[in-house]
Amino acid sequence: MKRKLFEHHLFLQPRKGARQSRTQTRTHEAHRPLDMTAPTKRDGEQVQRNRFTRRTLLLGASGMGLFGLLASKLYNLQNIEGRKYKSLAEDNRITTRFLPPVRGKIYDRNHMLIATNAQNLRVLIIPERAKNVARSLSLLGQVIKISDRQKRRVLKTARRQNPQFPILVADNILWGQFARINVLGERIPGIIGDISWKRRYELGEEFAHILGHLGQPSSFQLTSQPALHLPGALVGVAGVEQGFESALHGMPGRRELEVNARGQSQRVISETPAQSGKDIILTIDHVLQQRILKRLSPYRRAAVVAIEVNSGDIVAMCSTPSFDPNILTPPIDKNEWKNLLKTRDQPLEDKATRGQYPPGSTFKMVTALAGLEAGIITARTRFKCPGYMQWHKQRYNCWKHSGHGSVQLHKALKQSCDVFFYETARKIGIHRLAAMARKLGLGEVYDCGLPGQKPGIVPDPDWKQLEKRRIWFRGETVLAAIGQGYVLATPLQLAVMTARLATGRKILPRIAYEKGKELRTVAPLLGLSKKSLKLIHKGMSGVINEQDGTATGAALGWPGLQMAGKTGTSQVRGNRWKNRHGKQLDWQYRDHALFVAFAPVKNPRYAVSVIVEHGKSGGKVAGPVARDIMKMLLIRDPAHQVSSINSDHSSSIGSALETGTKNQKEL
């Protein structure tokens, strides 16, 4: 009885730690089945095992989850992002250096070396490897002298460009300095000793305007051509260097190096050599170039262009004064650059292609040919020249105030009668005159590898309306007929005009070509009448070879060989109120002296244009210059045009031409 009461008492006791209200307790007791059996030890162990199993499963599941996450991450690193991290790891071990190409050489027509490359020792810095560029420059300053200006330039460039690109610190360093940099370079982070090539011009002043020079690439070139980011990369900025830049520059190479943690090279992994630029052959004869410049030396400002009339090859093109392009290869000395800019006669300007001058009477062949082709005039057409032409209350004077009397075409060309060409232009009109000028090559920029050419001006009503916003006056047609007014031409254009007159073909000038790609084509005909061209040739021959011509002093003086030409004296703006004859005129107010010519008259070989700025007289100054140049051309002509000339006479002429005209007085 006592045992049953004890068991009943245990059954009614709540579990330890349980929190139950009285109501919950009564409800629980009311519905709980009576179990009078006491818990055993085995039941407790079972409960403990169940608890352990649940914890084990939870720990296992957590472990499997973590393992799966780790496996997923490893898979992502190895397969998905493996290439990325591999590349980053390789960058810590492998570095790429670009190899600058060697610029192509330039030769003259006789394969004389004109522009070549000299070895240039320099030092570079790679900002990414230097980390602290300023500190590396400071350490480098203990090995070579680095100016504050150089440091500022390097630091400025390092802030702007990709840190992987090397920056030029200094070039033209001595071999001893270069060796020390290579030995001590591992102590200066980011510093590299490098060998490149620097442009060198063998005949600098003689070819300065033809070749141009090298300079820093423009921002557009850097954007379009990433290879130009190489330190010290230069491009042509004028002349043939710029015109043939794509052929001369070449292609850079690549070298992959294995480096250690300090950036020191351990071994070459792979290398793609740079492709050198192509060599260029000029059509210029360096001997003629030197002799012509010597002949022009008495004059302050002058220009000459000589062309083979059949091929269009420019055999000489001179502009004086000249300069040495070697001093313009970067880095440029500031003082020398300022001196060139301040020089009063502008040596940097290529007067042969960029000088624009009123052609004066050298334009009269254009007017005559336009009249002949239009049927307005013939060889027998006569005009009376009393020394002027009166038209619409306006008086247009002839250069000869007493007049030329009754004038036909031959006499008009020979004596340069202005009135004859006034009358011709009045009848043909400005449109036909301008069309003939363009057909003969005026107002044109030639695609011959010479950038920066000026186009000159061939005026007409449309041009004036566009440029001046004014209507065309009939009197301006009269002025254009004698190469004045708005008409402008360059010496190159006048030489091309003369070559086209000599051949009747559309001669195009050529100054250079890639080595191994010499192409020659026969120029097409201009569609001009042979009879008209013959009349022009006869008139130009009379200028020199007949007693009453305006340039009898320009005769070659060789039996069997004659030169045809035309004088030109163009008025300079601003001198019309001054004494045009006078010796009192300052140099800058004097007229320009021009002369164009071709020779021989039969079977022409060469055409020449000469301009002496402020030379006063085309017949007295430019004519003799053209004569001497034509003699040089014919003496060196491979066709041996002067083989019949007495050898002693020929050699004496050559000697005189080589030394120049000693008694020529400077204007």
In the predicted model, is pLDDT for residue 58 greater than 70?
yes
Q: What is the pLDDT of residue 473?
A: 92
Where is average pLDDT lowest: 173-177, 307-311, 645-649? 645-649
DSSP 79: I
Distance CA 664, CA 667 (A): 9
CA distances from 188 to 126, 146, 541 (A): 11, 15, 75
Q: What is the pLDDT of residue 313?
A: 94
Q: What is the pLDDT of residue 100?
A: 76
Q: What is the pLDDT of residue 222?
A: 67
Write out pLDDT tens, residues 161-189: 877 778 888 888 888 888 888 777 667 88
More confident residue, 596 or 148: 596
Q: What is the pLDDT of residue 329?
A: 78
User: pLDDT > 70: what percent of the chain?
Assistant: 80
Distance CA 335, CA 342 (A): 11
Write out pLDDT tens, residues 329-366: 777 777 878 888 888 888 989 999 999 999 999 999 99
Q: What is the pLDDT of residue 296?
A: 93
Question: At 282, which helix (H) or strand (E)?
Answer: strand 280-282
In the predicted model, is pLDDT for residue 651 greater than 50?
no
Q: What is the pLDDT of residue 224?
A: 65
Please enumerate in sequence order all residues whose Cβ is within 8 A of that of 251, keeping only pairs 6 or more positions apart, or say none: 101, 227, 274, 275
In the predicted model, is pLDDT for residue 34 greater than 70?
no
Where is average pLDDT lowest: 302-311, 375-384, 609-618, 643-652? 643-652
- Nearest C-alpha neighbor of 407 from the set 541, 548, 545: 548
Averaged over 295-314, what is the pLDDT?
94
| Three-state DSSP class for residue 434 | helix
Structure tokens at 648: 């002693």
Q: Are 625 and 553 in contact (CB under 8 A)?
A: no
Please enumerate in sequence order all residues whose Cβ is within 8 A of that of 305, keeping only pairs 6 or more positions apart, or say none: 314, 316, 317, 318, 352, 491, 492, 494, 495, 608, 609
- Nearest C-alpha neighbor of 596 from the set 554, 638, 558: 554
More confident residue, 306 or 263: 306
Number of H helices, E strands in the chain: 24, 20
Distance CA 48, CA 51 (A): 5
Structure tokens at 344: 């009063």
Q: What is the pLDDT of residue 261?
A: 57
Average pLDDT score, the chain: 82
* String of DSSP letters for 2-28: HHHHHHHHHHHSPPTT----HHHHHHH
Q: How confident is the model at residue 264 (pLDDT cuts 50, 70, 90)?
A: low
Q: What is the pLDDT of residue 638?
A: 78
Q: Are 165 and 229 in contact (CB under 8 A)?
A: yes
Over the range 24-47, which residues count as b (16 or more CB within 10 Å of their CB) and which as e?
eeeeeeeeeeeeeeeeeeeeeeee
Region class of 291: left (phi > 0), else alpha (psi between -120 and 50), else beta: alpha
Q: How confident is the model at residue 226 (pLDDT cuts 50, 70, 90)?
A: low
Q: How confident is the model at residue 66 (pLDDT cuts 50, 70, 90)?
A: confident
CA distances from 177 to 143, 155, 330 (A): 7, 22, 20
Go through the domains of the chain in sequence order and give each one's CATH number: 95-282 (3.90.1310.10), 286-324+346-465+476-659 (3.40.710.10)
Q: What predicted TM-score, i.e. pTM, was given to this entire model?
A: 0.78
Q: What is the pLDDT of residue 655?
A: 45
Q: How many other CB atoms are found less than 10 A from the CB of residue 524?
A: 9
CA distances from 616 to 55, 159, 580, 619 (A): 116, 57, 9, 9
In the predicted model, is pLDDT for residue 121 greater than 80?
yes
In the predicted model, is pLDDT for residue 17 greater than 50?
no
Distance CA 345, CA 84 (A): 62
Strands 253-259 and 383-385: unpaired
In the predicted model, is pLDDT for residue 557 greater than 60?
yes
Where is average pLDDT lowest: 50-54, 166-170, 248-252? 50-54
User: What angle (nearest 5°) sits at the alpha carbon of residue 363, between those of residues 361 and 369?
Assistant: 120
In the predicted model, is pLDDT for residue 259 greater than 60?
yes
> By CB neighbour count within 10 A (0-12 exposed, 13-18 middle, 19+ buried), where does 329 fall?
middle
Write out pLDDT tens, residues 465-503: 999 999 999 899 999 999 999 999 999 999 999 999 999
Report the chain's C-alpha Rg in angstroms: 44
Q: What is the pLDDT of residue 541?
A: 95
Q: What is the pLDDT of residue 43?
A: 65
In the predicted model, is pLDDT for residue 581 greater than 80?
no
Q: How confident is the model at residue 85 (pLDDT cuts 50, 70, 90)?
A: low
